[in-house]
Amino acid sequence: MRPTETLMEEHRLILLVIAQAEQEAERIEQSGSVDEARVGKMLDFFRNFADRCHHGKEEDHLFKLLQHKPPARGPVAVMLQEHEIGRGFLRRTQEGLEALRSGRADGATQVVEGLRGYSELLRAHIDKENYVLFPMADQILAPAEQERLAAVFARVEGCASAVRGVSACTGASEPLKQRPCGSGRMVKAPRLGEAPGPSGVHLRV
Protein backbone atom coordinates (compact mmCIF):
# COMPACT_ATOMS: atom_id res chain seq x y z
CA MET A 1 0.00 0.00 0.00
CA ARG A 2 1.35 3.45 -0.88
CA PRO A 3 1.99 5.69 2.17
CA THR A 4 -0.67 8.13 0.96
CA GLU A 5 -3.18 5.26 0.73
CA THR A 6 -2.50 4.44 4.39
CA LEU A 7 -3.13 8.09 5.30
CA MET A 8 -6.33 8.21 3.23
CA GLU A 9 -7.60 5.08 4.97
CA GLU A 10 -6.93 6.87 8.28
CA HIS A 11 -8.86 9.90 6.97
CA ARG A 12 -11.84 7.62 6.42
CA LEU A 13 -11.75 6.59 10.09
CA ILE A 14 -11.33 10.18 11.27
CA LEU A 15 -14.37 11.21 9.18
CA LEU A 16 -16.48 8.52 10.87
CA VAL A 17 -15.85 10.13 14.25
CA ILE A 18 -16.18 13.65 12.79
CA ALA A 19 -19.73 12.70 11.73
CA GLN A 20 -20.43 11.67 15.33
CA ALA A 21 -18.95 14.92 16.64
CA GLU A 22 -21.22 16.94 14.32
CA GLN A 23 -24.28 15.05 15.52
CA GLU A 24 -23.19 15.50 19.13
CA ALA A 25 -22.79 19.27 18.68
CA GLU A 26 -26.30 19.41 17.20
CA ARG A 27 -27.71 17.34 20.06
CA ILE A 28 -26.03 19.51 22.72
CA GLU A 29 -27.38 22.65 21.11
CA GLN A 30 -30.93 21.28 21.09
CA SER A 31 -30.90 19.73 24.58
CA GLY A 32 -28.46 21.95 26.46
CA SER A 33 -26.98 18.75 27.94
CA VAL A 34 -23.48 17.43 27.36
CA ASP A 35 -22.70 13.71 27.50
CA GLU A 36 -19.36 14.24 29.16
CA ALA A 37 -18.07 10.69 28.67
CA ARG A 38 -19.05 10.61 24.98
CA VAL A 39 -17.36 13.92 24.22
CA GLY A 40 -14.36 12.75 26.27
CA LYS A 41 -14.02 9.63 24.10
CA MET A 42 -14.18 11.72 20.95
CA LEU A 43 -11.46 13.97 22.35
CA ASP A 44 -9.33 10.92 23.18
CA PHE A 45 -9.74 9.62 19.63
CA PHE A 46 -8.95 12.99 18.02
CA ARG A 47 -5.89 13.46 20.24
CA ASN A 48 -4.49 9.95 20.15
CA PHE A 49 -5.40 8.78 16.67
CA ALA A 50 -6.05 11.86 14.52
CA ASP A 51 -3.34 14.04 16.05
CA ARG A 52 -0.66 11.81 17.60
CA CYS A 53 -0.75 8.86 15.20
CA HIS A 54 -2.04 10.29 11.92
CA HIS A 55 -0.75 13.85 12.06
CA GLY A 56 2.46 12.41 13.57
CA LYS A 57 3.00 10.32 10.42
CA GLU A 58 2.37 13.38 8.28
CA GLU A 59 4.41 15.93 10.24
CA ASP A 60 7.36 13.75 11.30
CA HIS A 61 7.74 11.81 8.06
CA LEU A 62 5.73 12.67 4.92
CA PHE A 63 5.80 16.46 5.30
CA LYS A 64 9.52 16.42 6.20
CA LEU A 65 10.25 14.71 2.89
CA LEU A 66 7.91 16.97 0.95
CA GLN A 67 9.42 20.14 2.41
CA HIS A 68 12.49 19.44 0.26
CA LYS A 69 10.37 19.33 -2.90
CA PRO A 70 9.57 22.89 -4.06
CA PRO A 71 6.04 22.32 -5.47
CA ALA A 72 4.88 20.85 -2.15
CA ARG A 73 6.38 23.43 0.21
CA GLY A 74 3.45 25.86 0.12
CA PRO A 75 0.72 23.23 0.58
CA VAL A 76 2.70 21.58 3.42
CA ALA A 77 2.99 24.93 5.25
CA VAL A 78 -0.81 25.33 5.02
CA MET A 79 -1.39 21.77 6.30
CA LEU A 80 0.92 22.35 9.29
CA GLN A 81 -0.91 25.57 10.13
CA GLU A 82 -4.27 23.77 9.97
CA HIS A 83 -3.02 21.01 12.29
CA GLU A 84 -2.25 23.75 14.85
CA ILE A 85 -5.68 25.35 14.41
CA GLY A 86 -7.23 21.91 14.97
CA ARG A 87 -5.32 21.53 18.25
CA GLY A 88 -6.84 24.83 19.33
CA PHE A 89 -10.37 23.49 18.72
CA LEU A 90 -9.57 20.37 20.76
CA ARG A 91 -8.33 22.59 23.62
CA ARG A 92 -11.54 24.61 23.40
CA THR A 93 -13.63 21.42 23.67
CA GLN A 94 -11.59 20.29 26.70
CA GLU A 95 -11.97 23.70 28.32
CA GLY A 96 -15.73 23.48 27.74
CA LEU A 97 -15.88 20.14 29.59
CA GLU A 98 -13.85 21.59 32.46
CA ALA A 99 -16.09 24.65 32.59
CA LEU A 100 -19.18 22.43 32.85
CA ARG A 101 -17.60 20.47 35.69
CA SER A 102 -17.04 23.69 37.60
CA GLY A 103 -20.62 24.82 36.95
CA ARG A 104 -19.94 27.51 34.38
CA ALA A 105 -22.82 28.30 32.04
CA ASP A 106 -20.71 28.75 28.93
CA GLY A 107 -19.22 25.23 29.01
CA ALA A 108 -21.75 23.68 26.62
CA THR A 109 -21.26 26.51 24.12
CA GLN A 110 -17.50 25.98 24.23
CA VAL A 111 -17.92 22.25 23.64
CA VAL A 112 -20.20 22.93 20.65
CA GLU A 113 -17.78 25.52 19.23
CA GLY A 114 -14.84 23.17 19.70
CA LEU A 115 -16.52 20.14 18.11
CA ARG A 116 -17.99 22.15 15.21
CA GLY A 117 -14.82 24.09 14.55
CA TYR A 118 -12.72 20.93 14.55
CA SER A 119 -15.17 19.07 12.30
CA GLU A 120 -15.41 21.85 9.72
CA LEU A 121 -11.66 22.35 9.68
CA LEU A 122 -10.84 18.65 9.39
CA ARG A 123 -13.37 17.99 6.60
CA ALA A 124 -11.85 20.74 4.44
CA HIS A 125 -8.30 19.80 5.49
CA ILE A 126 -8.78 16.13 4.58
CA ASP A 127 -10.17 17.12 1.16
CA LYS A 128 -7.07 19.24 0.49
CA GLU A 129 -4.78 16.35 1.42
CA ASN A 130 -6.76 13.68 -0.44
CA TYR A 131 -7.27 15.67 -3.64
CA VAL A 132 -4.28 18.02 -3.81
CA LEU A 133 -1.31 17.20 -1.59
CA PHE A 134 -1.34 13.40 -1.70
CA PRO A 135 -1.69 13.12 -5.50
CA MET A 136 1.22 15.58 -5.69
CA ALA A 137 3.23 13.44 -3.23
CA ASP A 138 2.53 10.31 -5.31
CA GLN A 139 3.97 12.12 -8.33
CA ILE A 140 7.05 13.70 -6.80
CA LEU A 141 8.25 11.06 -4.33
CA ALA A 142 10.55 8.49 -5.88
CA PRO A 143 9.50 4.81 -5.50
CA ALA A 144 12.36 4.22 -3.04
CA GLU A 145 11.22 7.17 -0.90
CA GLN A 146 7.67 5.83 -0.89
CA GLU A 147 8.88 2.39 0.15
CA ARG A 148 10.93 3.82 3.02
CA LEU A 149 7.96 5.92 4.11
CA ALA A 150 5.62 2.92 4.09
CA ALA A 151 8.11 1.01 6.25
CA VAL A 152 8.39 3.90 8.71
CA PHE A 153 4.59 4.22 8.93
CA ALA A 154 4.32 0.53 9.81
CA ARG A 155 6.61 1.12 12.79
CA VAL A 156 4.79 4.14 14.22
CA GLU A 157 3.65 3.04 17.66
CA GLY A 158 0.31 3.49 19.33
CA CYS A 159 -1.81 3.62 16.15
CA ALA A 160 -3.36 0.18 16.55
CA SER A 161 -4.60 0.93 20.05
CA ALA A 162 -5.70 4.46 19.14
CA VAL A 163 -7.80 3.22 16.22
CA ARG A 164 -10.06 1.34 18.67
CA GLY A 165 -11.44 4.76 19.54
CA VAL A 166 -13.44 4.66 16.29
CA SER A 167 -15.54 1.81 17.62
CA ALA A 168 -15.79 3.47 21.01
CA CYS A 169 -17.28 6.56 19.40
CA THR A 170 -19.36 5.14 16.56
CA GLY A 171 -20.45 1.70 17.75
CA ALA A 172 -19.29 0.54 14.31
CA SER A 173 -17.99 -2.82 15.40
CA GLU A 174 -20.25 -5.49 16.90
CA PRO A 175 -18.88 -5.63 20.47
CA LEU A 176 -19.01 -1.89 20.84
CA LYS A 177 -22.48 -1.57 19.35
CA GLN A 178 -23.69 -2.79 22.72
CA ARG A 179 -21.45 -0.36 24.55
CA PRO A 180 -21.62 2.93 22.61
CA CYS A 181 -19.33 5.84 23.24
CA GLY A 182 -20.10 7.39 26.61
CA SER A 183 -21.74 6.23 29.78
CA GLY A 184 -25.00 8.13 29.43
CA ARG A 185 -23.95 10.52 32.18
CA MET A 186 -25.19 13.93 31.15
CA VAL A 187 -23.83 17.23 32.34
CA LYS A 188 -26.44 19.94 32.12
CA ALA A 189 -25.12 23.42 31.53
CA PRO A 190 -26.55 25.75 34.18
CA ARG A 191 -28.43 28.78 32.96
CA LEU A 192 -26.73 32.09 33.47
CA GLY A 193 -27.13 33.13 37.10
CA GLU A 194 -28.20 29.63 38.15
CA ALA A 195 -26.20 28.08 40.99
CA PRO A 196 -24.54 24.77 40.22
CA GLY A 197 -25.60 21.66 42.11
CA PRO A 198 -23.66 20.26 45.08
CA SER A 199 -21.13 18.55 42.84
CA GLY A 200 -20.71 21.66 40.74
CA VAL A 201 -22.49 20.08 37.77
CA HIS A 202 -26.06 19.33 36.79
CA LEU A 203 -26.44 15.66 36.07
CA ARG A 204 -29.03 13.71 34.16
CA VAL A 205 -28.58 9.94 34.23
Interface of this chain with Fe ion, residues 168 to 187, rule: CB under 5 A: none
d(CA 197, CA 205): 14
Cβ of residue 130: shortest distance to Fe ion, in angstroms?
A: 8
Nearer to Fe ion, 10 or 24 (CB): 10
Query: What sign does the dihedral 47-49-54-57 (CA atoms) show?
Result: positive
Nearer to Fe ion, 13 or 42 (CB): 13
Cβ of residue 133: shortest distance to Fe ion, in angstroms?
A: 9
d(CA 136, CA 147): 16
Is residue 51 close enough to count as binding Fe ion by CB under 5 A?
no
Strands (E) located in the chain:
33-35, 186-188, 202-204
Q: 66-95 mask for Fe ion (x: CB under 5 A)?
A: ------------------------------
Nearer to Fe ion, 41 or 125 (CB): 125
CB atoms within 10 A of CB 30: 8
Nearer to Fe ion, 7 or 99 (CB): 7
Is residue 129 close enough to count as binding Fe ion by CB under 5 A?
yes
For 95, how many CA atoms within 13 A lie in the half-sphere containing its CB? 11
Nearer to Fe ion, 48 or 110 (CB): 48
The conformation of residue 189, written as its DSSP 8-state character, comes to: P
Which residues, 6+ apart, have CB-to-CB distance to 120 below 8 Å? none
Determine the residue with CB nearest Fe ion. Answer: 129
Stretch that binds Fe ion, among 87-95, 108-116, 122-130, 148-156 (CB under 5 A): 122-130
Which residues, 6+ apart, have CB-to-CB distance to 64 below 8 Å? none
Is residue 24 close enough to count as binding Fe ion by CB under 5 A?
no
Helix (H, G, I), strand (E, B) or coil at 33: strand
Burial class (CB in 10 A: 0-12, 13-18, 19+), 13: buried
Cβ of residue 22: shortest distance to Fe ion, in angstroms?
A: 18
Nearer to Fe ion, 36 or 129 (CB): 129
Stretch that binds Fe ion, among 24-32, 38-46, 123-131, 190-198 (CB under 5 A): 123-131
What residues line the site for Fe ion (CB under 5 A)? 129
